[in-house]
Structures are given as C-alpha cells and as structure tokens.
Amino acid sequence: MGQKLEMKTYEQICLDKLRELGMASAREWAFAMGYKNPNALAKVIKRILRLMPEDLVVYDKRKPRRYQVVD
C-alpha cells in the first residue's frame, strides 16, 4: 500500500537501456530495445535531443554516430 510507482516516459526507458549499454550506435541501441529494424529509434533519439539535450551525448565526428547517457 505504501509503495509509490514512478511513471517513466518512453524516452526515459530508452535512456535507461542506453545507460546499461554504455556507449552504443543507434543500431546497437535499437536491437537492445528489442527492435529488428536498426532505424527504429530515429524519432525517439530526435525527441530526446529536442526535449532533454543535457541527458544525451552524441559523438558525431564519424559514422556511425555513437550515443552515451550523461550521468
């Protein structure tokens, strides 16, 4: 009765999975989330960068881009 559940957005769930992976490409991140298509998280990544840019670091000097969560 005294437990309070914290509701998470899908973006927060994706960031938690990336935190478990460490640094990963979008393909590795999508496969870890259970998707079969490597582009499945493209819109989610854009939304994270728009709404929470301080939580995600993008290493975009070379392809494929690598992503990492800021702790």
How confident is the model over 33-70, as pLDDT tens digits? 999 999 999 999 999 999 999 999 999 988 899 999 99
Do the beta carbons of residue 11 and residue 52 sit within 8 Å?
A: yes
CATH number of domain containing 56: 1.10.10
The whole domain housing 25 covers: 10-69
Q: What is the pTM of this model?
A: 0.85
4 within domain boundaries:
no
Angle CA 47–56–18, to nearest 5: 95
Q: Is residue 24 part of a domain?
A: yes
Domains in the chain: how many in total?
1
